[in-house]
Amino acid sequence: MSRLDKLLAGWTFRTATPTFEPGEVITAYVSERNGDGLTVRIGDSVIRVEDGGGAAVEDKVRLEVTSFDATNHVGTGEVVEVLGPDA
Amino acid sequence: MPEEPDIELSFRGGRLVSALPIALFIAWAIFQSGILGIGDTTGLVAGMLTGLIVGLLFVRGDWKDYADVIFAGMTRRVAATAVVAWLWAGMFAETIQVGGFVDGLVWAATVLNVGPGLFPAVTFLLAALLATGIGTGYGTAIAFTSLVFPAGLLLGANPVLLFGAILSGAVFGDNLAPVSDTTIVSAVTQDADIGGVVASRVKYAVVAATLAIAAYLVAGFGIPGVWSGMPYVDVAGEVSASVSPWGLVHLLDIAVVIALAVRGRHIIEAVSWGLLLAAAFNLTLGAANLVDVSAGSMLLFSAPQNGLTQAVEALPLLGAVVETVPAGQVGVGGSVYSGAAGFFPLIVLTLLLVAGAEVMRAGGGFDAIQELVIDRVATTVRRAETTMVVGTALVNATVTINTAAEIAIAPYVATLGKRFNINGYRRANILDANTSALGYIFPWGGGLLAGYGAMQGLVGGEATPWFTAEMLVNPASVFPYVFHGWFLVAVFLFAAWTGYGREYVSDRTSEEVSRV
């Protein structure tokens, strides 16, 4: 990312409920763990993962979005890679 | 740096008791600085030490685990990064100050013939420029109150408004400067690179600063009521300061630090280049008799008088940084020494505070408070961000050394923000803006007291014989006029509610932390 891009990023009003496309791969922190499953909140949008692998709360994961309902801001996804907690 | 495996601690009285060392420290800080009005950082070190010892008494099981947790906390990378940054930034700031940089700014204001109405707004801009360059709001508050404040009074500017403008400039710099201690803490604790953090916070700082400039112009040119309600002493025409413009060359070494920082160089590298350049300028300016500065201003060994030391003093080159003095005045001095030494109490306090935070983590205190906040209060991203803004502001309003407050609240901002995948840049910005602002607004704020201390130094000073104790600005009267601080908090409340500037982790990820 260039210096100018860094300076110009985010000069917008970002929604509380971002939307995602199926097939999109995103990086995010795990918000909650429920049994084997994970909940990832991006703002007020929620992506649920059935098999969370070894990921814990606050771990960063690479996530493939498998479905997303833009009306209710809820989707499902699969963990591609567990990146782990921040240093 | 390899991290120790996490140790869990159990406390008599439950998880929340693990917060006792930090809670005792906060109570100590309120008592010492809020009630008694003592802004002594080493006193806070004693408070944190006391807190850590008292906490030990409540540990169940082996006390060695508690000791290990303290060690684990003190050796965390966040602590080392802050220590390194402060030492380098401290040396740099002090070196450009002995090089006459503030004099250069005063010269510019005088030459441009800035009148009393315009003076507060211009002072805000210049203080913001200095603070952004040297990265210390406290240093700016002290330097500007010592040098620009009397200049402003002589020009007929309103003292309360002027002091507010200086503090506003300090807030701006503390918030935006890449070498500011609060900027560094905000970036390191939220796992974001400092260059990216600075670039991303321009969008908030510019909005608040634009509003603040407008407010200083309106108040400076005297809307009835604002003007008439403020104390004012007429000393215009008493003395005219003669200052040298040459210190302005230090704008070049500040530019070098900022340019290297923005290019992503490591902080040690960026500031070292700036420091070397500043030292070269100082030697040149001093040798040409343009500024009263020499090698001895930057480093000076004051040695006891004897045959050996007098021989060393007479040597070429080495003799320039050695002088012989009577036995009572022996010591080392100069900007490299005092710039670094000025941060020693804060460095020790930070190491101990990080240790206290580690105790709280190991004892489950953070988890207990987080569960409460996350389950009950911060149920949506708007409410989470608003909680982060208000929480940071509240902690900073009570703990007056703003860097210490920032370190205490940082883990909450990180956890709460990550829960909603709020980007590291955004988290660092919420944390730092409200930390920077609040430390200069309330009468017990460390930055305000630093400036007030400098103002007390003006009473009967050699350069300001006309300045009397009656002319001191009451610290409790200045808070409404720290416009940039108030606007910055307001901008973030607005941003939390509307989503202005909000970014998610999935939008972009921040770069490596140790980059400036």
Chain centroid offset of residue B347 CA? 13
Question: How far apart are the C-alpha atoms of B126 and B109, rounded to whole Å?
Answer: 9
Nearest 10 degrees: Cα torsion B70, B72, B73, B79: 130
pLDDT range class, residue B354, cuts 50, 70, 90: confident
Per CB-CB distance under 8 Å, the chain A contacts of B202 are: 7
How many other C-beta atoms can be found within 10 angstroms of the C-beta atom of residue B294?
Answer: 17
Q: To the nearest whole angstrom, how far is the Cα of A60 from the nearest Cα of chain B? A: 9
Q: To the nearest whole angstrom, how far is the Cα of B410 from the nearest Cα of chain A? A: 14
Strand pairing report for B10-11 and B59-60 = antiparallel
How many Cα atoms within 13 Å fall on the side-chain side of residue B434?
A: 34
CA distances from B378 to B383, B386, B387 (A): 5, 8, 7
Question: How far apart are the C-alpha atoms of B434 and B402, rounded to whole Å?
Answer: 10
Per-residue model confidence (pLDDT) at position B4: 46
Question: How far apart are the C-alpha atoms of B199 and B184, rounded to whole Å?
Answer: 13
Report CB contact under 8 Å: B504, A28: yes
Residue of B nearest to A11 (CA): B501
Tokens describing residue B394: 């509240």
Q: Which residue has the higher pLDDT, B444 or B504?
A: B504
Interface test with A, best of B197, B366, B506 (most A CBs within 10 A): B506
Report CB contact under 8 Å: A16, B499: yes
Interface test with A, best of B498, B500, B504 (most A CBs within 10 A): B504
Per CB-CB distance under 8 Å, the chain B contacts of A40 are: 421
Please write the tens of the pLDDT for every residue from B14-59: 999 998 998 898 888 878 876 786 767 789 899 999 999 999 999 9
Q: Does residue B320 lie within any of the structural domains?
A: yes
Report CB contact under 8 Å: B502, A60: no
pLDDT range class, residue B162, cuts 50, 70, 90: very high
How many Cα atoms within 13 Å fall on the side-chain side of residue B100?
A: 24
User: For B355-365, what is the mean pLDDT?
Assistant: 86
Question: How far apart are the C-alpha atoms of B345 and B475, rounded to whole Å?
Answer: 24
Q: Does residue B50 lie within any of the structural domains?
A: no
| Nearest by CB: A9 against B195, B382, B503 | B503
- Find out whether B513 and B425 touch, Cβ atoms under 8 Å: no
Per-residue model confidence (pLDDT) at position B240: 45
Question: How far apart are the C-alpha atoms of B114 and B107, rounded to whole Å?
Answer: 11
Report CB contact under 8 Å: A31, B420: yes
Residue of A nearest to B260 (CA): A3
Q: Does residue B327 lie within any of the structural domains?
A: yes
Domain limits at A13? 3-84
Alpha helices in B399-501 (DSSP H): 402-419, 424-438, 446-458, 483-498
Per CB-CB distance under 8 Å, the chain A contacts of B388 are: none
Domain limits at B324? 300-331
| Nearest by CB: B420 against A3, A6, A43 | A43
| Nearest by CB: A16 against B262, B381, B501 | B381
How many other C-beta atoms can be found within 10 angstroms of the C-beta atom of residue B61?
Answer: 11
Please write the tens of the pLDDT for every residue from B178-218: 878 889 889 989 989 888 899 999 999 999 999 999 999 99
Residue B308 has pLDDT above 80, yes or no: yes
CA distances from A86 to B2, B80, B175, B513 (A): 14, 16, 24, 10
What residues contact residue B316 under an 8 Å CB cut-off, 6+ apart?
none
Number of independent structural domains in chain B: 1
Interface test with A, best of B258, B412, B419 (most A CBs within 10 A): B419
CA distances from B75 to B79, B83, B414 (A): 7, 11, 20
Whichever domain contains A79, its CATH number is 2.40.50.140
Q: Does residue B342 lie within any of the structural domains?
A: no
User: For B61-87, what is the mean pLDDT?
Assistant: 84
Number of independent structural domains in chain A: 1
Q: Which residue has the higher pLDDT, B16 or B513?
A: B16
